Amino acid sequence: MSIFSYLLPKKQRTASVAKERLQIIVARERSMRGGPDYLPQLQEELLAVVRKYVPVSPESVNVQVDRDSGCEILELNITLQDHQDT
């Protein structure tokens, strides 16, 4: 890019605002895709099973599929509440 564009008043450089916004939204959308289509339902059902035994909120479950050198890893993270006196 030309150095002149840096000399312009800041409010005119809308392209840099566009770039920043795009980087954020694209990163977020990418992190939510790529997994198999059954993932959301799997997450629901796992949550239902776990809830029979311990109270957990939907946000404390995280299902993720990672592809690593040819093999796929299904990763399930459930954060339980601190106290375990049940």
Partner 1 sequence: MTKIVVVTSGKGGVGKTTTSAALATGLALRGFRTAVIDFDVGLRNLDLIMGCERRVVYDLVNVINGDANIRQALIKDKRVDNLFILPASQTRDKDALTQEGVEKVLNALRDDMAMDFIICDSPAGIEKGALMAAYFADEAVVVTNPEVSSVRDSDRMLGILASKTRIAEQGGGDIPARLLLTRYSPERVLRGEMLSVEDVQEILAVELLGVIPESQAVLNASNAGSPVILDTDSDAGQAYLDAVARFLGEDLPHRFLTTGKKGLLGRLFGGQ
What does the per-residue mask of binding to partner 1 show for 10-49, with x meaning CB under 8 A? --xxxxx-xx-xxx-xx--xx--xx---------------
Q: How far is the CB of 79 from partner 1 (least distance, A)?
A: 28
d(CA 61, CA 46): 9
d(Cα 45, Cα 3) in Å, to the nearest integer?
56
DSSP-based three-state secondary structure for 47: helix
Binding site for partner 1 (CB under 8 A): 1-5, 8, 12-16, 18-19, 21-23, 25-26, 29-30, 33-34
